[in-house]
Amino acid sequence: MATRRQEKVASVVKEVVSDAIAHHLSDPRIEGFISVTRVEMAPDLRNAEVYLSVFGQDASVQNKTFLAIEHAKTKIQSMVAGRLQSKFCPVLHFHKDEQFKKTLEIMRLIDRAADEYKDKDEQEDSDDENS
């Protein structure tokens, strides 16, 4: 379980990384919507695991966007260092977060199953009325 200090540093890192991606990176490879879903700090606060969800047209655009953000890691890290009041700046490690996409897919499947069930009920009701 994360300590209060880890949570505070993770919150600052998440805020700065989100702001950097949205407003300070001008790489043309960055397309679509990028969301920092979570940040996990190491107990010694020297490493930060940053999870990103990239929503774009297709997988190749998403991969290009992720690589562009990886390429800008030192710039983003220097922005984090400027905001933290700490002896050390955590080293950022970016990861693709597929959990949000999986959640959306599950929700889509549930909606489709519910629609099929509803259509089946309506069809049974109309069959009963016609009998």
The Cα-based distances of 12 to 17, 56, 97, 118, 120 in angstroms read: 8, 26, 19, 46, 50
Q: Is 48 helix (H, G, I), strand (E, B) or coil?
A: strand
Report pLDDT for 131: 59
pLDDT band at 3 (very low <50, low <70, confident <90, very high): very high
Closest CA to 39 of 75, 100, 90: 90
Tens digits of residue pLDDT in 58-116? 888 889 999 999 999 999 999 999 999 888 899 999 999 888 778 888 999 999 999 88
Domain boundaries, the chain: 4-97, 99-131
Report pLDDT for 68: 94
* Better pLDDT: 41 or 131: 41
CA dihedral 25, 102, 48, 31 (to 10 degrees): -10
Tens digits of residue pLDDT in 10-54? 999 999 999 999 999 988 888 888 999 999 999 999 999 999 988
Q: Could you tell me the sign of the dihedral formed by the alpha carbons of 109, 112, 116, 121, in that order?
A: positive
Question: Is 29 in contact with 68 (CB distance < 8 Å)?
Answer: yes
Domain 4-97 = CATH 3.40.50.1370: no
CA within 13 Å, CB half, 79 = 18
* Better pLDDT: 130 or 52: 52
Q: How far apart are CA 20 and CA 51, in angstroms?
A: 15
* Better pLDDT: 44 or 122: 44
Q: How far apart are CA 79 and CA 59, in angstroms?
A: 28
